Amino acid sequence: MADAPLVGIIMGSTSDWETMRHAADILDTLRVPHETKVVSAHRTPQRLYDYATGAADRGLKVIVAGAGGAAHLPGMAASMTHLPVLGVPVESKALNGMDSLLSIAQMPGGIPVGTLAIGKAGATNAGLLAAAILATGDADLAERLKAWRGRQTDSVATDPA
């Protein structure tokens, strides 16, 4: 049986997957059990309610939520769980993700969402940050994360051409 997921990656639409798969890829690489679901704050509000309120009891430790436009998914998820929520602003067509970024980052004090960069970089970093949070209580994962960082360092060329 596969390990129970520790990270829940949710996104507002199947169209967000092209961005959010980068969070899943990192968690795959670091061997962090995770699940991926489409949960829309405005199209499937009951699904969001059920997901967020049940997340901790199902054993999830971190939620990564990606959305674009009027991106209320991360904030609404955070309002219904005490788990850390990392928000990924998906690059929107109309405003290139600035709308998503501001919607996710500008949470009123009291309900935090850890907001990452727009698009692929944000999704990648959300996966890395979720792993880093879990690694504070998992020495083996901490070693895998340090090794990943070391490989990244080693891959940086000294010469530009």
43 is annotated as contributing to ligand binding: yes
Tell me: is residue 16 an annotated ligand-binding position.
yes
Q: Distance between CA 122 and CA 22 in Å, rounded?
A: 9
Task: Kindly tell me which of 5 and 68 has the beta carbon lying closer to ligand RP5.
Answer: 68
CB-wise, 60 or 67, nearer to ligand RP5?
67
| Token reading at 47 | 């699904």
In the complex, least distance from residue 59 CB atom to ligand RP5, rounded to whole angstroms = 25
The contact set with ligand RP5 (CB under 6 A) reads 12-13, 15-16, 40, 67-69, 90
Task: Check the annotation: does 40 bind a ligand.
Answer: no
How far is residue 62's CA from residue 46's CA, in Å, rounded to a whole number? 20
What angle is formed at CA 38 by the lines to CA 70 and CA 28, rounded to 5 degrees? 115
The answer to whether the beta carbons of residues 35 and 9 sit under 8 Å apart is yes
Annotated binding site for substrate, which residues? 13, 16, 43
State the binding site.
Answer: 13, 16, 43
